[in-house]
């Protein structure tokens, strides 16, 4: 499915599709095995960091996009919390959230969402993009 960034509204149809065709089927699979094997999830690489760093972009910063990401991520965390699995939330990489103003935008965004931060084990970085630390090894 391709996202129509120019669409107006709250993205309710897309959110419902995300829940029913992605999160809920994954939940049903994990529900069968969560007591037999430890499950660790990385929730939504790039989505919330995109909002924090690109709020001026008409695609990433639109109400529909922000509502879809915030609602979808909160739904995922609250849904998978029922299984008592370990969850990490993507926090992009230092090139995105390594700047103090972007870090605070990300924190403010999380505090404005409908889930408890204590549901998470922590944060992951360098999931969908990568920024090395220090100097690269010489060849």
Which of these is catalytic: 6, 10, 46, 57? Answer: 46
Has 24 been annotated as catalytic?
Answer: no
Query: Where do we find the tokens 């889930």?
Result: 115
Q: Report the C-alpha gap between 47 and 115 in whole angstroms.
A: 16
Q: Report the C-alpha gap between 131 and 108 in whole angstroms.
A: 23
Q: Hey, CA dihedral for 59, 60, 63, 64, is it positive or negative?
A: positive
**Residues belonging to the active site:** 46
């Amino acid at each position: 499915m391709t996202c129509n960034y120019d669409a107006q509204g709250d993205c309710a149809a897309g959110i419902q599709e995300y829940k029913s065709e992605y999160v809920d089927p994954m939940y049903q699979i994990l529900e069968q095995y969560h007591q037999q094997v430890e499950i660790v999830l990385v929730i939504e690489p790039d989505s919330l960091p995109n909002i924090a760093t690109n709020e001026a972009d008409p695609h990433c910063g639109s109400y529909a996009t922000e509502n879809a990401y915030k609602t979808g991520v909160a739904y995922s965390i609250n849904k998978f919390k029922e299984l008592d699995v370990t969850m990490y939330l993507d926090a992009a990489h230092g090139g995105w959230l390594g700047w103090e103003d972007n870090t605070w935008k990300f924190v403010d965004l999380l505090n404005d969402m409908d889930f408890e931060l204590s549901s998470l084990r922590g944060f992951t970085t360098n999931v969908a993009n990568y920024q090395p630390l220090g100097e690269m090894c010489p060849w």
